[in-house]
Amino acid sequence: MFGGPTKRHAPASMWNTVAWILQGVLALAFLFHGILYAFAPEPLVRSMREQGKWPPAIPRWFRIFIGIAELLASVGLILPGLLHLFTFLTPVAAAGLVFVMFSASVYHLRRREVAAVPVVGALLVMTAIVAIVRWQVAAL
């Protein structure tokens, strides 16, 4: 009665746990990808450059914009919930990443880069789950 969630609150508690796990995984993924795109550190891009996969076939300013947006989204997925401040930003960040991942899937499909589509699709699904759960099921 006093220690844990009641039966009535158990589903929301379960979804809260699922959302936090997904938020952590997504924050790490977008943190690393955002650093890669925004700052292009040489140790990270050297092997990609040797394989002919760097820089990506987008303008430099757009690559940096995407990187900064992903860095901000990774912060928005975690920090509001931890600080209990501006918690509405978490589903907004997730919804923004849904748009980014949908656009990335279209980009990779048009370029026939089918190897990237499953990863992008998985990130798209995970960001959509976080957006829905944090908006409707288990808000922060």
In a domain, 124, yes or no: yes
pLDDT tens-digit map of 13-22: 899 999 999 9
**Rounded Cα–Cα distance for residues 81 and 85 (Å):** 7
Q: What is the mean pLDDT of the chain?
A: 91
CB atoms inside a 10 Å sphere around CB 88 = 12
In a domain, 132, yes or no: yes
pTM metric for this prediction: 0.87
In a domain, 52, yes or no: yes
- Pseudo-torsion of CA 38, 116, 21, 11, nearest 10°? 130
Domain that holds residue 36: 10-137
**Rounded Cα–Cα distance for residues 108 and 119 (Å):** 11
- Report the pLDDT value the prediction gives residue 68, as an integer from 0 to 100: 97
In a domain, 4, yes or no: no
